[in-house]
C-alpha cells in the first residue's frame, strides 16, 4: 500500500468503527417532551363507582335512560347485577375501565399512546396518526376506537365505536352505541395525572356532560397478572363454589 | 369476537385512503407491502409484526418432536390421542386464560412491540395478552408462578435476549400436545432479519421434567405496518369452554 494513503485509510476505518458501534448501540427509545411525558404507572385516587358530573350531579339522562339506571341500581341492591359485564369476566368497556381501582401503565410513542390496564390485562391504544372513521362505518366493540392529538401538554383523545353492553360505571349508568367520549389528559404535577372526560350520547343524555378523575404516580410499581377467568366459575362454565 | 371490518377501517385510516371500505379488504389481507420496512435502527423493534408459516405444532429447529422425557412423551401421547378421539384435552386458551410463554409467541394473530428505556412490552391481539419484559434488571427474588411468568431482557449486540421463568404449569408450549411444568425456563433471542422486513425469535426451551435436554424453536414474523391490533375478547362468547377438562363443541 502507498504510505500516503495510510492516514486516510486509518481515519476512514475509525469512522466506520465509530459509526458501526453507534448503529449497534443506538436504540429507538422515544423521549417525550417533559410536559407531555405521561409515562409511568398510575393509580386512581378516589372512588368513582357511581360517577357524577363536574358539578357533582347525576348526569342528565333521558327518561328511558333514567329508567334503565334505576333498574340497574335495583338489581345491584338485590345482589344480582345482571347488567354488570365484569361479573362474567367480560370487559368493563370504556370509559368504565378508567374508574377501576387497579393500576394503569402509560407508554408513549410518536404515533401512539398506550394505556395498559392491570385489570383484565386490557390494553387501549390511542392513535395519534389517524382520524376517527364515521360511526356508521365502525363495527361496535367493547373499548371503542381511540384517536388523539396533543394540545400543548394536554393529550386530547376521542373515542367512539362502542357496543351498548357495558355501563359507564359500576352503579349502572347506561350508554348507547352512539356514545362519543372526549378526554383531556394532562399532568397537574409530576405525580398527578388528570383526565377530564366528556360524554356525548344523545340517545342517553339530554346534553353532553363532563366528569373528572385523577391518578397518582406509583413509582417502581409493576403491573401484576390479573386473570379474571382463573378465579371466576361463572366465566368458565364451571359450577360455582 | 374479533372482527375484520375494524381492521380494515384501521388500515383505511393508516393508509389515508379515501376508498370505500369494501375496496380496502384487498389491501389489508393482500400481499405484504414490501416497500415499507422497519426502521434502520437495529434495536428498534417497535411496531406490528405478524407470524409467518404459523404451525400449531411449534417449529422445533430439530425438524421433529422435542427430546421428551418419558413424562413429556406420555403427556404428548395422551393429548394426540384425545384429539384423534374427538375430545381434545383443553389448554389454557380454551379457558380464556393467558396463553403463556412461549406459546403466545406462536399464535396466528398480530403482535405489537412497544419499547421504553425500562421495558419492552409486547401486546398480542389474541386474547389481549400482554407481555412485560423489564430491561437490564434481574428477576425478582421471589416470584409467584403466573401464566406469563417473569421476563427479564437485555441486549447482546443487536439481539434482544429475554429470560423468562416463574411460569405456572397450566399452559402448553404448542397447540398439539407439547406441555411443560413449573421448571420451564425460556430464553428468547429476538432480532431483526432480512433488512428489517422480518423479526426472528430463536427460543430455547428447558424443562428437565418434560425434556431430556434443552431444545430450540424458531419463529419469524413479518413487518406489517399496514395492520393495527383489533379487539379480541375471548370472554365474550367462548364456544370452546371445556367440560371436565376436555374441549366440547357447543
For every residue of A187-240, which 3-state class applies, written as one string?
EEECCEEEEEEEEECCCCECCCEEEEEEEEECCCCCCCCCCHHHCCHHHHCCCC
| Tens-digit pLDDT profile for residues A124-136 | 999 999 999 999 9
- For residue B241, is it within any domain? no
Core vs surface per residue A164-181: b (16+ CB within 10 A) or e: bebbbbbbbbbbbbebbb
pLDDT at A2 over 60: no
Distance CA(B243)–CA(B247), nearest Å, equals: 6
- Domain, as residue range, for B47: 31-236
- For residue B25, is it within any domain? no
Q: How far is A126 from chain B (nearest CA, A)?
A: 11
Q: Is residue B192 within 8 Å of residue B45, measured between CB atoms? A: yes
**Confidence class for position A23, pLDDT limits 50, 70, 90:** very low
Longest dimension (CA), chain A: 95
pLDDT at A238 over 60: no
Of B14, B117, B132, the CB nearest to A29: B117
pLDDT at B29 over 50: no
Contacts of B28 in chain A (CB under 8 A): none
What backbone torsions phi and psi does residue B235 show, to the nearest 5 degrees?
-70, -15
Of A109, A137, A143, the CB nearest to B9: A137
pLDDT score of B30: 42
- For residue B211, is it within any domain? yes
Q: How far is B115 from chain A (nearest CA, A)?
A: 6
Longest dimension (CA), chain B: 59
pLDDT at A111 over 90: yes
Q: What is the ipTM of this complex?
A: 0.86
Of B41, B114, B148, the CB nearest to A225: B148
Sequence-separated (6 or more) residues with CB below 8 Å from residue A241:
A233
pLDDT score of B247: 79
Distance CA(B20)–CA(B5), nearest Å, equals: 12
pLDDT score of B209: 98
Is A139's Cβ below 8 Å from some Cβ in B?
yes
Answering whether pTM is above 0.90, one says no
Is A28's Cβ below 8 Å from some Cβ in B?
yes
Element spanning B7, H or E: helix B4-15
Distance CA(B96)–CA(A166), nearest Å, equals: 20
Neighbours of A240 (CB within 10 A): 7
Kindly tell me the sign of the dihedral angle through the C-alpha atoms of B188, B189, B191, B193: negative
Q: How far is A20 from chain B (nearest CA, A)?
A: 11
* Beta-carbon pairs below 8 A across chains A and B: 121
Q: Cis omega (within 30 of 0) on the bond before B102?
A: yes
pLDDT score of A4: 53
**Confidence class for position A225, pLDDT limits 50, 70, 90:** very high
Sequence-separated (6 or more) residues with CB below 8 Å from residue B2:
B109, B125, B230, B231, B232
Unique residue bearing C-alpha cell 449486540:
B157
Nearest in space to B42 (alpha carbons), one of A224, A24, A48: A24
> Of A113-117, B38-42, B126-130, B146-150, which range is least confident?
B38-42
- For residue B19, is it within any domain? no
| Tens-digit pLDDT profile for residues A175-222 | 999 999 999 999 999 999 999 999 999 999 999 999 999 999 999 999
Share of chain B above pLDDT 90, in %: 73
pLDDT at B25 over 70: no
Going along chain A from its start, the domains and CATH numbers come out as: 37-236 (2.40.128.20)
| Tens-digit pLDDT profile for residues B74-114 | 999 999 999 999 999 999 988 999 999 999 999 999 999 99
pLDDT at B63 over 60: yes
- For residue B171, is it within any domain? yes
- For residue B68, is it within any domain? yes
pLDDT at B31 over 50: no
pLDDT at B127 over 80: yes
pLDDT score of B1: 41
Q: Could you give the angle at which helices B4-15 and B21-29 cross, rounded to 10 degrees?
A: 90
Q: Is residue B207 within 8 Å of residue B216, measured between CB atoms? A: no
Q: What is the CATH number of the domain that holds B57?
A: 2.40.128.20
For chain B, the distance separating the N- and C-terminal CA atoms, rounded to the nearest angstrom, is: 16
Using a 10 angstrom Cβ sphere, with 0-12 exposed, 13-18 middle and 19 or more buried, the burial of residue B12 is buried
Q: What is the rounded average pLDDT of the residues B225-244?
A: 85
- For residue B18, is it within any domain? no
- For residue B14, is it within any domain? no
> Of A110-119, A224-233, B162-171, B182-191, which range is least confident?
A224-233
- Number of structural domains chain B divides into: 1
More confident residue, A93 or B22: A93
**Confidence class for position A230, pLDDT limits 50, 70, 90:** confident
Q: What is the rounded average pLDDT of the residues B128-152?
A: 97
Q: Is residue B30 within 8 Å of residue B185, measured between CB atoms? A: no
**Confidence class for position B249, pLDDT limits 50, 70, 90:** low
Is A21's Cβ below 8 Å from some Cβ in B?
no
By C-alpha distance, the chain B residue nearest A32 is B116
Measured at the alpha carbon of residue B123, what is the angle toward residues B120 and B128, in degrees to the nearest 5? 145
Distance CA(B47)–CA(A23), nearest Å, equals: 19
Q: Is residue B249 within 8 Å of residue B143, measured between CB atoms? A: no
Amino acid at each position: 500500500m502507498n504510505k500516503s494513503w495510510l492516514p486516510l485509510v486509518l481515519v476512514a476505518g475509525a469512522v466506520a468503527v465509530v459509526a458501526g458501534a453507534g448503529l449497534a448501540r443506538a436504540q429507538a427509545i422515544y423521549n417525550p417532551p417533559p410536559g407531555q411525558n405521561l409515562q409511568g404507572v398510575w393509580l386512581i385516587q378516589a372512588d368513582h363507582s357511581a360517577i357524577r358530573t363536574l358539578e357533582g350531579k347525576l348526569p342528565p339522562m333521558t327518561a328511558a335512560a333514567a329508567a334503565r339506571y334505576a333498574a340497574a341500581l335495583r338489581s345491584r341492591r338485590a345482589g344480582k347485577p345482571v347488567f354488570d359485564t365484569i361479573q362474567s369476566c367480560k370487559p368493563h368497556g370504556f370509559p368504565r375501565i378508567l374508574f377501576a381501582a387497579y393500576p394503569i401503565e402509560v407508554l408513549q410513542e410518536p404515533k401512539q399512546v398506550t394505556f395498559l390496564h392491570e385489570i383484565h390485562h386490557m390494553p387501549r391504544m390511542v392513535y395519534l396518526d389517524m382520524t376517527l372513521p364515521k360511526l356508521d362505518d365502525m363495527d361496535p366493540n367493547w373499548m371503542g376506537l381511540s384517536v388523539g392529538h396533543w394540545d400543548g401538554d394536554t393529550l386530547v383523545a376521542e373515542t367512539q365505536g362502542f357496543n351498548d353492553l357495558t355501563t359507564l360505571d359500576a352503579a349502572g349508568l347506561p350508554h348507547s352505541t352512539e356514545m362519543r367520549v372526549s378526554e383531556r389528559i394532562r399532568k397537574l404535577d409530576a405525580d398527578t395525572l388528570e383526565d377530564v372526560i366528556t360524554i356525548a350520547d344523545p340517545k342517553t343524555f339530554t346534553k353532553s356532560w363532563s366528569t373528572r378523575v385523577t391518578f397518582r404516580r406509583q413509582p417502581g410499581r409493576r403491573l401484576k397478572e390479573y386473570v379474571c377467568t382463573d378465579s371466576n366459575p361463572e366465566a368458565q362454565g364451571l359450577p360455582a363454589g | 369476537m374479533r372482527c375484520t371490518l375494524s381492521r380494515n377501517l384501521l388500515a383505511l385510516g393508516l393508509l389515508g385512503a379515501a376508498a370505500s371500505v369494501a375496496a380496502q379488504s384487498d389491501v389489508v389481507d393482500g400481499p405484504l407491502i414490501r416497500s415499507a420496512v422497519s426502521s434502520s435502527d437495529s434495536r428498534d423493534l417497535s411496531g406490528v409484526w405478524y407470524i409467518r408459516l404459523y404451525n400449531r405444532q411449534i417449529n422445533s429447529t430439530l425438524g421433529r418432536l422435542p427430546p421428551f422425557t418419558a413424562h413429556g412423551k406420555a403427556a404428548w401421547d395422551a393429548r394426540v390421542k384425545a384429539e384423534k378421539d374427538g375430545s381434545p384435552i383443553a389448554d389454557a386458551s380454551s379457558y380464556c386464560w393467558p396463553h403463556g410463554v412461549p406459546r403466545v409467541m406462536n399464535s396466528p394473530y398480530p403482535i405489537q412491540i412497544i419499547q421504553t428505556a425500562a421495558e419492552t412490552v409486547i401486546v398480542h391481539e389474541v386474547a389481549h395478552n400482554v407481555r412485560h419484559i423489564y430491561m437490564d434488571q434481574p428477576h425478582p427474588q421471589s416470584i409467584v408462578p403466573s401464566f406469563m411468568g417473569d421476563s427479564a431482557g437485555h441486549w447482546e449486540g443487536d439481539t434482544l435476549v429475554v429470560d423468562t421463568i416463574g411460569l405456572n404449569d397450566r399452559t402448553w408450549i404448542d397447540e398439539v400436545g407439547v406441555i411443560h411444568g413449573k421448571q420451564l425456563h425460556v430464553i428468547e433471542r429476538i432480532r431483526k432479519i432480512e433488512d428489517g422486513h422480518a423479526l426472528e425469535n430463536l427460543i430455547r426451551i428447558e424443562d428437565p421434567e418434560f425434556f431430556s435436554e434443552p431444545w430450540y424453536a424458531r419463529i419469524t414474523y413479518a413487518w406489517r405496518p399496514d395492520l393495527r391490533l383489533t379487539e379480541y375478547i375471548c370472554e365474550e362468547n367462548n364456544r370452546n369452554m371445556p367440560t371436565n377438562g376436555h374441549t366440547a363443541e357447543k
